Amino acid sequence: MRRSLALVLGVVLGNVLITSGCASIRDRLDAQSSRILILEPSFVRATTVEQSFTYRRLNRMTPVLTDDFVVQGNAIDGIVVYNRKTGSEQWRLAIENGVEGGVELAGDTIYFGGGDGLLRAALLKTGRLLWSVPMRAELLAPPTYENGTLFAQTGADVVYGLDATSGKLLWTYNRQVTGNLSVRSTTKPVVSGSLLLTGFSDGTAVALKKRDGTVQWERKLGRGNRFRDVDSTATINGDRAYFASYDGQLAAIKIESGELLWTSDVGGYLPVTVGTGSQADRLYFATSESRIVELDEATGKQLRSVKIENGIATQPLLSKNLMIYGESNGALRVIDVANFKLLAQYQTGEGLIATPALDRAKSEIWFISSGATLYSMKLSYRRVAERFPWKKIDSSSQESSYSF
């Protein structure tokens, strides 16, 4: 009887041990067989004609993407358009001190200002110049096109309304700012109904009537002792706009009246990003103090933040569960917006201050580095399986593109 009982217990214990052992091995294999997010370069081009050995310039233009072309300006020698299908150079235009601010695309025409103080219109496909107009100062942000009218702001705190077909001047608004240090940046004029939202180096957010440039309202935001500038292009969400001064505060303003809804004690020069999906009630903002902060949209209360270890961040971009941003002295980074954990990164060795562009259809991230090199990064999942501790299998056949 004892022998039979011992045999039964042995069989039962053996089964338990075997079952437990199989479960442990399976769990370990599951843990070791997982998908990771990777960034892989698919397009890399130096955008300058020759390597530049001058002092570091601010290459901060976001690439403009179409199905056939990529438009990229640099802050050194001009603007270049690449054919996306062949990777070859479509055309190039030499401009003294380059195209730093950016490009506005409308139909088959691009509009851009240069470091030489000229605002230009050119055909996207061929680069043929349609017109150029002197602005008497450098343009550090893209112009804005709407229904045949072009709005442009210069580094001298002047806003222009022009006929987009001819470049003819329609109206001018001159802020007449004097007597303070300022950040070398400007806002891109933003159209909201009958108004044009802009910011100036005296720390003021202003709404102009887009038909003639007269003031609808103005709101003082920047009160810092150092840089009061309102250089963050307005972000519109519903009936409110978000502006920030560099040293001062981020503010929510009622668009029609200029009423101040709330302020938060964070400063910066880049636009606010409005949350999406489960973060639709949040705002994300890259500060001048090397953080990306998450705020409650209704109140402006700061909820969480990401510390930027290598300089300051570009404007953060959101895609599903991902936040994508660059570091001025570091890498392009992809983090999980739910827990702010790093998922993937790519080091260019040069850093980046230009906000990247997303091509959602092709799962691509495009950006120019601080050294004026244009990159396209493919964002994809790759399954990594470890069959044995000493043998890792990393199979490209198991890749799948991340869907934006």
What are the DSSP calls for 110-125, one per residue? EEEE-TTSEEEEEETT
CA 246/CA 249 separation, integer angstroms:
7
Which residues, 6+ apart, have CB-to-CB distance to 278 below 8 Å? 338
Contacts of 68 by beta carbon, 8 Å cutoff, 6+ apart: 83, 84, 85
Q: Is 158 helix (H, G, I), strand (E, B) or coil?
A: strand
Encode pLDDT of 255-307 as tens digits: 999 999 999 999 999 999 999 998 999 999 999 999 999 999 999 999 999 99
**Nearest residue to 344 via CA among 31, 35, 33:** 35
From the list 103, 208, 117, 121, the residue with the least C-alpha distance to 156 is 117
Go through the chain and tell me how many residues it has: 404
pLDDT score, position 77:
92
- Mean pLDDT for the chain overall: 87
**pTM for this entry:** 0.86
Q: Residue 182: its pLDDT value, please?
A: 63
Helix (H, G, I), strand (E, B) or coil at 274: strand
Residues 6+ apart with CB under 8 A from 115: 75, 95, 96, 97, 98, 99, 100, 138
Q: Give the residue ranges of the chain where pLDDT is below 50.
A: 1-32, 386-388, 391-397
Structure confidence at residue 386 (pLDDT): 46
Q: Which of 203, 306, 198, 307 is nearest to 255 (CA)?
A: 198
Give me the pLDDT at residue 56, please.
Answer: 58
Contact 79, 92 (CB under 8 A): yes
Q: What is the DSSP string of 125-150?
A: TT--EEEEEE-SS---S--EEETTEE
List CB contacts of 349: < 8 A, sequence separation 6 or more. 371
pLDDT for position 52: 67
